Amino acid sequence: MKNFSLRKLLLGCATLVLFILVWKLVTDAKLISPIFFPGPERTYAALEKGLSGGALLTQTLETVQRMLLGWLLASFVGVFLGSLVGISKRARAFIAPTLELLRPLPASAMIPIAIAFLGFSDNMVLVVIAFGALWPMLLATIHGFAAMEPRLYEVSAVLGLSRGQVIWKLALPSAMPMILASLRLGLTISLILAVVGEMLASRAGLGQSILAASRSFRSADLFAGIVILGAVGLVGSRLLSFGERRLLRWQAVNR
Amino acid sequence: MPVTQLSTRLPHGAAGSAPAASQPRIRIRDVTLSYGPLQIIGGVSLDIVPGETICIIGPSGCGKTTLLRMLAGLAQPTSGSVELDGAVIGGPNRSVAIVFQDYGKALLPWRTAAGNVSLALEARACPRAERPAIIRELLEKIGLGRHTEKYPAEMSGGMQQRLQIARCLAQEPKVLLMDEPFGALDAMTRQALQDEVLGLVATTGATMVFVTHDLEEAIYLGDRIVCLQPNPGRVGRIVDVRLARPRDQLLTREDPEFLRLRRELYDLIKDDHQ
Ligand SMILES: Nc1ncnc2c1ncn2[C@@H]1O[C@H](COP(=O)(O)OP(=O)(O)OP(=O)(O)O)[C@@H](O)[C@H]1O
Ligand SMILES: [Mg+2]
């Protein structure tokens, strides 16, 4: 087991090194104009300058905060509404198809509506993030409830569990693997929408700084921003995976 | 020929728990059950007095599980009625516990053995402080005392089945329905648990309906044995078991009456099993 995860880590690092090497080769050969496409060294320099100078750091924190707030909002609302719909077979039959229909609407289509109601504000961006990230969690909760072993509903009825107890003690834990996977997906969506929202509503953050860098041809700064976005996404998803493994320890023994 | 038998005889296990003229704990009256055009149960009538242990035997698919599900309130008869203490069973009820045949699905995989038993205590609002002691006692009784922190997936089939029994007992039911609970156990564990269950039933005064494929198990446990016949499921014969209680794995099984009953039942069900 240990050996295996170490090998995976090494392989991952090797792939990353290879990627940077190819990146360097491509830029050194000047296949694309350096004005638009900086090499790894210049990107790293911009990263270092931005993070030590503070500007990039505060922007990152802004974006991370936005992402987390929107994601938390979406998680609570998604799982709560999902539980209400999911626990009743009838509600599932009535409401779930409509939700499936609404789901593929791109969250960015919500932005004009949100702007109309909330203007170019931080709240507007928050609402867009929450709305976009809501869907996977809402639907995962509903599907998770629907997929619960029917025998367990019978067990709960025979034991005389209240509806609240059924949700809290049976349906939510049973749907937990699906919900946790959707939380991870939701975090990615939150990050994307935080960046898009910042660009559109020009709120402080990585999105805005990337846009500004691109408009003034500071390609190294632009790439530095993108690298940070990638890192934020990676760290977030890793943290959630870690939490997932801890919460789903009982599943590990099942395999 | 469906036999309706009104038992006024007190079972040995329920000494003094009810007067002879008491109403039955469970009354099954002309019950039929159909799924669509298919009749599964075709006119079953049976009275079960408090404290009695009824064993149900019959070929696979004859409707034993279906009958138990109606007693548990998990299925409703198409016609006829099932009553508990004189009131029609309209749905599941905490005072009727059921040990499901498919033990793997009836347990919460994310809870340990102790957690699974705890669920029954949480359901009946047993104070948090009292739970650990009750859980420990039940699990010890059922032979899982050393496995309280194991998840169901870490347990053998027999252990999972015992865990299900422990959870049902935590429910403190008046009626205990058991659907082939010992099918996954080796002979020794099985006999130990038979005695354990008989002891529990005797001390709590619970009424038990026990489904089994094993004729000897039926004789060893039961006050009466109901032989179900298939297509549609109906009562073929009801055999009284007049063996002294408490029963003993060696003495009871050597009793001439035990051997006679085994012979009688074997001849009875032989025809249903060709
Ligand atoms: N939900 C259902 N829909 C349709 N038919 C069903 C349903 N449940 C059970 N049956 C049928 O009812 C009959 C009786 O099933 P039941 O499970 O009660 O049998 P059983 O006596 O418990 O058998 P076994 O000893 O194998 O457990 C079977 O023929 C089965 O196919
Ligand atoms: Mg069955």
ipTM of the complex: 0.86
B30: left (phi > 0), else alpha (psi -120 to 50), else beta? Answer: left
Residues in chain B within 8 Å Cβ distance of A159: 94, 119-120, 123-124, 171
Per-residue pLDDT tens over the stretch B27-44: 999 999 999 999 999 999
H runs (alpha helix) in A29-88: 40-53, 55-86
Closest atom, ligand 1, to C-alpha of B69: 18
B87 DSSP β-pair partners:
B84
pLDDT tier, B12 (very low <50, low <70, confident <90, very high otherwise): very low
Long-range contacts of A235-240 (CB under 8 A, 24+ apart): A236/A67, A236/A187, A236/A188, A236/A191, A237/A184, A237/A187, A237/A188, A240/A180, A240/A183, A240/A184, A240/A187
How close is the Cα of A147 to the center of ligand 2, in Å? Answer: 23
pLDDT at residue B3 is higher than 60 = no
Long-range contacts of A92-100 (CB under 8 A, 24+ apart): A92/A142, A92/A145, A92/A146, A96/A139, A96/A142, A99/A135, A99/A138, A99/A139, A99/A142, A100/A139
Neighbours of ion ligand 2 (CB under 5 A): B 65, 101
For chain A, what is the radius of gyration of the CA atoms? 22
Read off φ and ψ for residue B98, nearest 5 degrees: -135, 130
Per-residue pLDDT tens over the stretch B80-116: 999 999 999 999 999 999 999 998 899 999 999 999 9
Nearest CA distance, A180 vs chain B (angstrom) = 15
Per-residue pLDDT tens over the stretch A32-63: 777 778 888 888 888 888 888 778 888 999 99
B32 DSSP β-pair partners:
B42, B79
How close is the Cα of A42 to the center of ligand 1, in Å? Answer: 72
Residue nearest to atom 17 of ligand 1 (CA): B65
Kindly state if the Cβ of B56 falls inside 6 Å of ligand 1. Answer: no
Kindly state the tokens that stand for A144.
């998770």
Residues in chain B within 8 Å Cβ distance of A170: 108
Residues in chain A within 8 Å Cβ distance of B151: 250, 253-254
In whole angstroms, give the CA distance from residue A51 to residue A228. Answer: 10
pLDDT at residue A216 is higher than 90 = no
Per-residue pLDDT tens over the stretch B194-224: 999 999 899 999 999 999 999 999 999 999 9
In whole angstroms, give the CA distance from residue B162 to residue B99. Answer: 9
Do the beta carbons of residue A107 and residue A189 sit within 8 Å? yes
Q: What separation in angstroms does the CA of B117 have from each of A81, A201, B54, B158? A: 30, 55, 25, 16
> In the A/B pair of chains, how many CB contacts fall below 8 A?
67
Closest atom, ligand 1, to C-alpha of B64: 21
How close is the Cα of B161 to the center of ligand 1, in Å? Answer: 20
Domains of chain B as residue ranges with CATH: 1-95+173-274 (3.40.50.300), 103-168 (no CATH)
